[in-house]
């Protein structure tokens, strides 16, 4: 059974929230850098939860992937992208395409990653939650 991550915009997920000390509670991670000098990433739960840290060792990004990630009752991952986008719009949220493979839900610090965003039948692959910043 896959872990479940209920997303709270601006805060994170129950397992790891921005501004809290969570490393001791989560256990031993697999730690790595995607690109040398890009900052440490801790992976937990067979890489279903990845946590990125900045230079000051503060949590800067939470990435649930290959798991049950939910926002406002909408299952975000491992479902066809078109269904996820439709359900988010029905919930009053407005995902916008940004970059080359992501949809941003503005004002929530949440991004959905799709390997083929032009193909709405391809499942969403992962998400990215970032802390909210003052405008």
pLDDT at residue 129, as a whole number: 92
Residue located via tokens 């397992």: 15
State the Cα–Cα distance between residues 18 and 59, nearest whole angstrom: 6
pLDDT at residue 135, as a whole number: 47
**Contact at 8 Å (CB) between 56 and 47?**
no
Q: Which residues does the chain have with pLDDT short of 50?
A: 134-135
Q: What is residue 129's DSSP assignment?
A: E
pTM: 0.85
**Contact at 8 Å (CB) between 66 and 48?**
yes
């Amino acid at each position: 059974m896959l872990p479940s991550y209920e997303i709270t915009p601006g805060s994170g997920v129950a397992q790891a929230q921005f501004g809290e000390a969570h490393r001791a509670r989560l256990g031993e991670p697999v730690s790595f850098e995607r690109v040398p000098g890009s900052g440490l990433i801790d992976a937990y739960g067979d890489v279903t939860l990845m946590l990125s840290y900045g230079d000051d060792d503060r949590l800067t990004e939470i990435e649930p992937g290959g798991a049950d990630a939910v926002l406002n009752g909408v299952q975000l991952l491992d479902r066809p992208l078109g269904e996820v986008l439709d359900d988010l719009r029905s919930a009053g949220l407005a995902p916008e395409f940004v970059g080359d493979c992501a949809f941003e839900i503005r004002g929530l610090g949440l991004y959905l990653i799709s390997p083929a965003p032009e193909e709405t039948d391809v499942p969403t692959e992962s998400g990215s939650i970032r802390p909210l910043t003052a405008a």
